[in-house]
Structure 1
């Protein structure tokens, strides 16, 4: 799990929408980029300005699709025409 803290209300809104719709969200924190599903968005009541803690469950990176066998450029049954 990845925990991210922010005070940006626009960013919090984006995470809440992603959580509600079940979509993945991407966060850039320093040099690392994390993409995954938002598990929770919690507001910290005792801080001024308000801050939120966002918990993201990272997803595994997608694998590259394997190359399919190349099809023959010759049409099937082309030998029937010769």
Structure 2
């Protein structure tokens, strides 16, 4: 579980909508991208600048698909058939 901080109102709204709809959200903050379920969106009222603290449970990374490798001898035998 990670807590990220943002001053972007659009990002906070998007996170709040994802939280209530139960969907995964993708947040890109500070050049880092986090995808997962949003658990909480809290406004930090102690700050002079409006900012939000977003708690997100990151999804497990998806395994990348292995590329299909065609051997030259298999391609030649398929072409002959």
SS at match of 2:38: strand
SS at match of 1:11: helix
Q: Which residue of 2 aligns with 1:2?
A: 2
- The root-mean-square deviation of aligned C-alpha atoms, in Å, is 1.8
Structure number with greater Rg is 1
Q: Which residue of 2 aligns with 1:47?
A: 47
Contact 2:6/2:29 (<8 A) preserved:
no
CA shift at 1:7, angstroms? Answer: 1.2
Where do 5+ consecutive residues of structure 2 fail to align? 67-81
Matched length: 66
SS at match of 2:54: strand
Where do 5+ consecutive residues of structure 1 fail to align? 67-82
- TM-score computed with the length of structure 1 as normaliser: 0.69
Q: Which residue of 1 aligns with 2:37?
A: 37
Structure with the higher helix share, 1 or 2: 2
